[in-house]
Amino acid sequence: MVQACLNGSRTAEHGAAVPMSPKDLARSAADAVAAGATEIHVHPKCPCGHDSLSPRVLTPVLEALRERITVPIGVTTGAWAEPDPAARLARVRSWSLLPDFASVNWHEPGAEELAALLLERGVAVEAGIWSGTDGAARFTAAALGPRVLRVLAEVMDPDPATAQTSARALLAA
């Protein structure tokens, strides 16, 4: 599996090459698939450049991507896009067009409830486990753990020695 993340937390401030609009994301996705990507992960952005879980933002992105590619498409559900856990659940409930999978950061408040809702709606879950958080412990205690599509271990420590220790801890969890 080769997953291409087209924009992530980057915005237009990071350069003109960062795809922001549905059209630009679809073009970048087609290029990534042509280069060998077997999955696409995107952070749908509102016009001001912030990540959004709004169906008014998500739907045009998914429509544009699906016009150009046939590989699975995933989206973020990060708390930075919607900090309030109840509001995040409401946004996901309001989606009329669904991604194939969504990333859920297990250290964020409401992660297990969000994962349960996504699974109930037929959206696969990619569990984000960040080093330096309680995400690994929360995930291993979660009843939903065996139902996720995969675990994405994100080593967030800039110090190589600390990062190596964090990676080992994540793998042992």
87 domain-assigned: no
DSSP letters, the chain, are --EEESSTT--GGG-TTS--SHHHHHHHHHHHHHTT-SEEEE--B-TTS-B---HHHHHHHHHHHHHH--S-EEEE--TTT--SHHHHHHHHHT-SS--SEEEEETTSTTHHHHHHHHHHTT-EEEEEEETTSSHHHHHHH-TTGGGSSEEEEE---SSHHHHHHHHHHHHH-
Instruction: Label residue 108 by pLDDT band (50, 70, 90).
Output: very high
pLDDT tens digits, 11-45: 666 666 778 899 999 999 999 999 999 999 999 99
Within a domain: 82: no
| Average pLDDT, integer, range 147-167 | 74
Count, residues in the chain: 173
Instruction: Write down the pLDDT at residue 107.
Output: 95
Domain co-membership, 71 together with 105:
no
pLDDT at residue 12, as a whole number:
65
4 lies in which domain range?
A: 1-76
Domain boundary pick from 10, 44, 76:
76
Inside any domain, residue 41: yes
Residue 15 or 139, more confident? 139
* pLDDT of 162 higher than 70: no
Domain count, the chain: 2
Residue 85, token pair as written in the block: 């856990």
Supply φ then ψ for residue 124, to 5 degrees.
-65, 155
The pLDDT, as a whole number, for residue 154 is 84
Q: Which residues contact 33 (CB under 8 A, 6 or more apart)?
A: 4, 40, 69, 71
Q: What pLDDT is stored for residue 35 in this prediction?
A: 97
Tens-digit pLDDT profile for residues 73-104 = 999 999 999 999 999 999 999 999 999 999 99
Is residue 160's pLDDT more than 80? no
Instruction: Say yes or no: 173 and 104 in one domain.
Output: yes
Q: How far is CA 90 from CA 20, 34, 78, 86, in A?
A: 24, 35, 14, 6
